[in-house]
Amino acid sequence: MGLNALFKALGDETRREILRRLARGDMAAGEIAAAFDLSWPTISHHLSVLKEAGLVQDEKKGQYVIYSLNTTVFQDIAGWLFDLLGTITERQPAKKGEARKENGK
C-alpha cells in the first residue's frame, strides 16, 4: 500500500506544512511541535504517519529526535504521475464528434 499511505499522508494540511519546514532543514520533533497550534502528541502522531509513508526519517540524537525529509519517495509520486499521463498520450485521440463505444476487455 505504498501509494495509498503516501497520498493519505499528503492529504493533510498540517503534514504538508511539516514537510515544507523539513524541506528547509532538519528539525527536532519538539521544534516542529512548537511551530503548530496543536498538542505534542498530535504532532508526534502526524510525524509517525509521515514516517510510515516513507516521507520522513528520524534519528535519535541524545534526548532529541531529529526528523528529516526522505526525498526518495517523491520518485514514487512522479512515477505514478508519469504512468497516468503516459497512458493518456498513448491512446489515439478520437476525431471530433466521433463516438467511442469500445471499452477494451
Site of interaction with a copy of itself (CB under 8 A): 1, 3-4, 6-8, 10-13, 16, 19-20, 23-27, 31, 69, 71, 74, 77-78, 80-81, 83-85, 87-88, 90-91, 100, 103-104
- Enumerate residues 6+ apart whose C-beta is below 8 A from 35: 21
What is the Cβ-side half-sphere exposure of residue 47, based on CA atoms within 13 angstroms? 26
> 66 and 26 in contact (C-beta within 8 Å)?
yes
What does 97 interact with, of DNA, a copy of itself, none (CB < 5 to 8 A by kind)? Answer: none
Name the grid cell of 63: 534526548
* Residue 91 three-state SS: coil
Is residue 60 a contact point for DNA (CB under 7 A)?
yes
Is residue 19 at the binding interface for DNA, with CB under 7 A as the rule?
no
Report, in Å, the least distance between residue 100 CB and DNA.
Answer: 13
Per CB under 7 A, 21 contacts DNA: no
Between CA 95 and CA 23 the distance in angstroms is 46
Where does this chain bind DNA (CB under 7 A)? 8, 11-12, 14, 28-31, 33, 37-49, 58, 60, 62-65
